[in-house]
Amino acid sequence: MKKEIVNNIIKETFFNLKKQDIIAMPNAYHKEFCKVAKKFDLTINECEEFKNFVNQLQESEQIEIKSKNITTIHEMIPMLLNKISKDKINTLSEIFDKSMSPSISIEMNEDLKKFSVKIGNSPALIFEDEIQKEMQKFIIKRFEADKKVVKQKTADIAKLVTLMGQCFNDAIDSSGMGSVEVSSIKSKIQSIDIKKNGMEELSQLQLQLVYAAGLIEDRMSNVGAQLTNGKSDIEKLQEKINKLETELDKTKKESIKDHLTGLLTRKAFEESVKTIEHQFLRNDTQFAVVFFDLDYFKKVNDTYGHKAGDIILSTFAKVLQKSTRDVDVVGRYGGEEFVAIIHFNLKRELLKYLKRIKAIINENEFLYEENKIKVTFSAGVAIRNNHKSYDSTIQKADILLYKAKESGRNKIIIEDGTTI
């Protein structure tokens, strides 16, 4: 019966478009199809999706959509983009340009200059996926290029310091021995009693040798002292270089952590996955990929402000971090999305982990100033052993997350059909 109704809706949709002399392009067809479906009092998921999206917008935006008779997502996108201030777009473009230059790497500067001209001429390009991916590549490329140059320069300085230090050691050792030898020669000359032999000329020579030996001794003592001081300066320089290398290592560690939540960034998480995937292929371990997403998070930001949203994100991250073992990995995937790799032997171990996190979030409220904010989350869980690759596993977890949100939110769906 429903199939017959759908066929009638399709026929009437094409009839109406032809009658209005409108080409049946995807957007026009979708708009007319939803209108006819409403007439037949039939609920279509694709049509309801637009309503759900509109309900998440601000009230002023909903009124504007209604007044302009906008009924599809394709018609709504230009309206939302026009709300973004051109000055803000230009400012965002300038901020990216300034934050990326100057770079230590000369080659990097040339590439960045070309890209900056590109987005400078058309700042709105920064909203396109390809441009954003290119911006992300520039950020990563600049960090790696600058780090490489700094490490190279540090290594060259370290080599020079090591060589100079060795030279100073050799010089100090040499001058020390020279002073001893000269002192010995002077003592021997002073002990000779040439006058007993009546050799006046040799007596004069003795005085000259003693005087010369004294000068040499003083000079070499001064040189030794200067070299010792020089070595001290070199040691101080070596300490500064060691400190610089420590700071570089610290910066590297900080770059893998998300600044707000303290969890691994998406890039660092994906690097960790490579090691886990290698262990899986070699040792046949078992793990699950869990995709978390906070429900109605946009509404929280609109109601209480972004500062409240940040507190909720960081607190939720702490719950995940404290509930996740060291052998497992958890990271912030983007926005209000989080992802975790959880190893397990028996299914009940995985269920215990998932139920513990759900209980903590459901039984508590987030506190912001004097507001108690109730927040829930949805999650999709896929098992690596059931898939040919990690990529297909995380895609399945993403699909299950979407299913959890579409079917009412505040639930966890595992790929075997189990729902928490």
Q: Which residues pair with 382 in a beta bridge?
A: 289
Chain mean position to CA 358: 27
User: Rounded CA gap, 325 and 280, in Å?
Assistant: 17
Q: Using a CB cutoff of 8 Å and minimum separation of 24, what contacts does 78-85 make?
A: 81/124, 81/127, 84/127
**Torsions phi, psi of 418, nearest 5?**
-65, 135
DSSP states along 69-81: T--SHHHHHHHHH
User: Rounded CA gap, 78 and 417, in Å?
Assistant: 39
User: Rounded CA gap, 26 and 13, in Å?
Assistant: 12
- Residue 304, sorted as left (phi over 0), alpha (psi -120 to 50) or beta, turns out to be alpha
Q: Which residue out of 32, 217, 277, 336 is catalytically annotated? A: 336
Which helix (H) or strand (E) segment holds residue 360: the answer is: helix 347-362
Residue 59, Cβ density class (10 Å: 0-12 exposed, 13-18 middle, ≥19 buried) = exposed
DSSP 343: E
User: Rounded CA gap, 117 and 114, in Å?
Assistant: 5
Annotation says 4 is catalytic: no
Catalytic residues: 336
